[in-house]
Amino acid sequence: MRGSGRIWKGISKRVRLLIILVLLLLVLLPIYWMVNTSFKHQPEIFQLPPTFVPEDFTLYNYESILYGDLASSITFMTYFKNSMIVAILTVLFTLILATPAAYGFSRVRFLGKRTLIYLILVSQMLPIVLILIPLYITFLKLRLLSTYIGLILPYLMFTLPFAIWMLKGYFDTIPLELDEAAKVDGCNKFQAMWKVILPNIRPGLTATAIVAFIMAWDEFIIALTIMDRDAMRTLPVGIIQSFVGEFAIKWGEMMSASVITSIPVILIFIFLSKQLIGGLTAGAVKG
């Protein structure tokens, strides 16, 4: 029995390893194909059978989007700059507003607290398309179309509820004794949060910031609606409008632009992976 158990355990371990390898291949293959396509000329992209390594390696697609004409006089780097500004400011405002709100939900007792926090969660369930028309009309009257603040405000409607829920979970993992010790030392609630609690949830803040950045960086529908001037377009909208035409798609340039667009997110995960994993696991302990 022991021998058969060991054999079964060895087989099951190999099966799990095989499943992991297959899933890893399914995840990495589209990424590899994107990078592979970005170094091909247009005819080779449609070649059958397809080539898994470029036969005629070229940097033309990258040179075209970085130095050539893109969407008339608008350059790819203009879209990149717009996305970076919007994403960074969205993260900044999200943390500034969500941190005290989450601290309040975690530490302060008040009437309707549970109902209010569930209402915040329900706001995440609304489809974006339901608010596009009233959002456009409102921002048109406020003259906020094609402005950074006009795009950041709608993004906050989606990043704030998520950030409040995440940060509340991190605050809940910190013992109340730390707040009481800070009060003994003469701190008020804000000082206790700023000087004592926040340093202890730094991984949680990092994880929340990363997720908020990705949400703002990848968003398409709202950016397409609010940014009606081409010079204010963000990367997702700029890529579609520049490379997807009525009769043809510039696959080489689009894949090159996608590779460059992916670089900031990849770098964030490389340099902040430990904080991200630590923050996600810490927030899952108690909620």
pLDDT digits (tens, 9 = 90+) for 124-173: 777 888 888 898 999 999 999 999 999 999 999 889 998 998 888 888 88
* Cβ atoms of residues 152 and 93 within 8 Å: yes
Decide if pLDDT at 283 tops 80.
Answer: no
What does the pLDDT read at residue 276? 63
* Cβ atoms of residues 118 and 168 within 8 Å: no
CA distances 59 to 40, 67, 70, Å, are 8, 12, 16
What does the pLDDT read at residue 48? 83
CA distances 251 to 79, 166, 232, 258, Å, are 18, 38, 23, 10
What does the pLDDT read at residue 213? 93
Q: Which of 28-32, 117-121, 277-281 is the least confident region?
A: 277-281
Tell me the whole-structure pTM to 2 decimals.
Answer: 0.81
* Cβ atoms of residues 59 and 127 within 8 Å: no
Quote the CA–CA distance of 119 and 39 in Å, as a whole number: 48
Q: Which residue has the higher pLDDT, 21 or 176?
A: 21
- The token duo for 267 is 């770098």
What does the pLDDT read at residue 63? 83
Q: How confident is the model over 25-42, as a mean pLDDT?
A: 88
What does the pLDDT read at residue 77? 85
Count CB-CB contacts under 10 A for residue 276. Answer: 20
Q: Among residues of the chain, what percentage have pLDDT more than 70?
A: 88
Quote the CA–CA distance of 67 and 69 in Å, as a whole number: 7
Place of tokens 């003259």: 143
What does the pLDDT read at residue 74? 67
pLDDT-derived band at 286 (thresholds 50, 70, 90) equals: very low
DSSP character for 220? Answer: -
What does the pLDDT read at residue 285? 46
Q: Which of 58-72, 194-208, 271-285 is the least confident region?
A: 271-285
What does the pLDDT read at residue 123? 77
Quote the CA–CA distance of 40 and 45 in Å, as a whole number: 6
Decide if pLDDT at 287 tops 50.
Answer: no
What does the pLDDT read at residue 92? 95
Q: Which residue has the higher pLDDT, 5 or 76?
A: 76
**Which residue pairs from 179-185 have beta carbons closer than 8 angstroms and sit at least 24 positions apart in sequence?**
179/107
For the segment 91-129, what is each residue's pLDDT rounded down to a tens digit?
999 999 999 998 888 888 878 778 888 888 887 777 888
**Which residue pairs from 65-73 have beta carbons closer than 8 angstroms and sit at least 24 positions apart in sequence?**
65/242, 65/253, 65/256, 65/257, 65/260, 70/242, 71/230, 71/238, 71/241, 71/242, 72/230
Quote the CA–CA distance of 7 and 180 in Å, as a whole number: 56
Count CB-CB contacts under 10 A for residue 78. Answer: 19
What does the pLDDT read at residue 71? 43
Place of tokens 């968003």: 219
Q: How confident is the model over 213-221, as a mean pLDDT?
A: 91
